[in-house]
Amino acid sequence: MSLALAQFNDLSQEVAVSQLLICCTSSAWANKLAYARPFADVDALLANSDAIWHDVQTNEANLLEAFDGHPQIGNVASLKEKYRNTQDSAAHEQSGANDAADDVLEALAKGNQDYLDKFGFIFIVFATGKSAAQMLDLLLARLPNDRATELANAAAEQNKITRLRLSKLLGNA
């Protein structure tokens, strides 16, 4: 459902929260952002979202609640489907992104499970425009981190994802 900002501003608190939970499943973030309405423009909404996310991410439970809203990338069959569908990519995209090799997909699935086992939450990354190999490189680079570092990394990535989803909700992406 795409809304105009004026429509979003006019929603009841309950309906606004339910729409925001589509963008990020942190109930603290969604409730605070819905309460902060009305917004003069999308930039004001995004700035408020950033500020509220910065505030609520200090509570690990809020982060984990947000992370739980993402599917785990770990099933090789679903990874194959996701990355094989890029064969008709635009000419400007790197040819390496056009066809993810089985070994890359299997390593990505294993890396995701290793990440979950180590940190207790799934690997969160702003995946838009990234190939399977790029995702694997990012995952492997972050896997040696400690949990506090990864909570911060995942929180930053979550915010990027949330901003994109907010823009889509309001028909701006």
Active site residues: 70
Do residues 27 and 20 make contact, with C-beta atoms less than 8 angstroms apart? no
Token reading at 132: 């399977």
Give the C-alpha separation, 70 to 85, whole Å: 21
CA distances 29 to 59, 64, 172, Å, are 11, 12, 21
The number of C-alpha atoms within 13 Å of 36 and in the hemisphere containing its C-beta is: 20
- Work out the number of other CB atoms within 10 angstroms of the CB of residue 30: 25
The number of C-alpha atoms within 13 Å of 139 and in the hemisphere containing its C-beta is: 28
Token reading at 93: 């995209």
Residue written as tokens 């809203």? 69
